[in-house]
Amino acid sequence: MGRSARFESDASGMNTPTLPAARWPGSPAGFTLIELLVVLVIIAVVSIAVTLAIGGNQGRILQNEAGRMQALLQIACERALVTGTDIGLRFTPGSLRFGYLRGEQWLPFGDHSGDELRPRRLPDGLQVQPFIDGVVVDPERDPERPHWACFASGEAIPLRIELAYAGTDEHWRIDVAPDARVESKREGGAGG
């Protein structure tokens, strides 16, 4: 059973050979229902894997940011205790700014890459909502003063920070107690 070439004219009028499509003898043209179902299952599995990878990534970023913020607050309180200098934190849109109090003047830490308390930019889309004594912190209030402080005495202004991404029900809460103890807790989302 050999295939024979046919000749067809193209737009220029030249005859070019064409071969018929290779098929099993007696097989119909097109795809079978099984072949279509296999392709749909493969597409569904890949779509689910991509969705889980993207959704899980936001959860990991949120957990990492909560851990990082908890560590920074602990470092600030430890540094205040060790150095005998009050350490403050100012919340600005999209960033955190630590500084120290000298008399009545708040001096922000510089952008030195080796300092743990250097200014920190927050990831895009991360929502940070700080509360002091249950009241929402206004980032525009008193731009010359920190919103929160950890004192050289080992005490801190009670603080709660809620972290979340828009469109997700998972969020993290960081609490600083008056004795400068810092704790973080996952709330909402799966397992929260």
What is the pLDDT confidence band of residue 75, given thresholds at 50, 70 and 90? very high
**Residues spanned by the domain of 139:** 33-187
Residue 116 belongs to a domain with what CATH number? 3.55.40.10
126 within domain boundaries: yes
Residue 1: inside a domain = no
More confident residue, 178 or 115: 178
Q: Are 132 and 178 in contact (CB under 8 A)?
A: no
Q: Domain for residue 83, yes or no? A: yes
Q: For residue 111, which amino acid is it?
A: D
**Residue 103 confidence (pLDDT):** 78
Decide if 173 is inside a domain.
Answer: yes
Does 125 map to a domain? Answer: yes
pLDDT at 67: 94
- The closest of 104, 96, 54 to 75, measured between CA atoms, is 96
In-domain check, residue 63: yes
- Confidence bin at 178 (pLDDT 50/70/90): very high
Given strand 159-165, what is the order of strands in its sheet?
Answer: 135-136, 126-132, 159-165, 171-176, 182-187
Residue 85 falls inside a structural domain: yes
**What confidence category does residue 150 fall into, taking pLDDT thresholds of 50, 70 and 90?**
very high
pLDDT at residue 154, as a whole number: 94
3-class secondary structure, 124: coil
Tokens at residue 69, please? 């913020």
CA–CA gap between residue 96 and residue 163 (Å, rounded): 13
Would you say residue 3 lies in a domain? no
Tokens of 50: 């991509």
pLDDT at 15 over 60: yes
Residue 120 has pLDDT above 80, yes or no: yes
pTM over 0.85: no
Q: What is the pLDDT of residue 102?
A: 83
Token pair listed for 18: 């064409």
Instruction: Decide if pLDDT at 5 tops 80.
Output: no
pLDDT level of residue 141 (50, 70, 90 thresholds): confident
Most confident of 11-20, 69-78, 104-113, 144-153: 69-78
Domain count, the chain: 1
Instruction: State residue 2's pLDDT score.
Output: 53
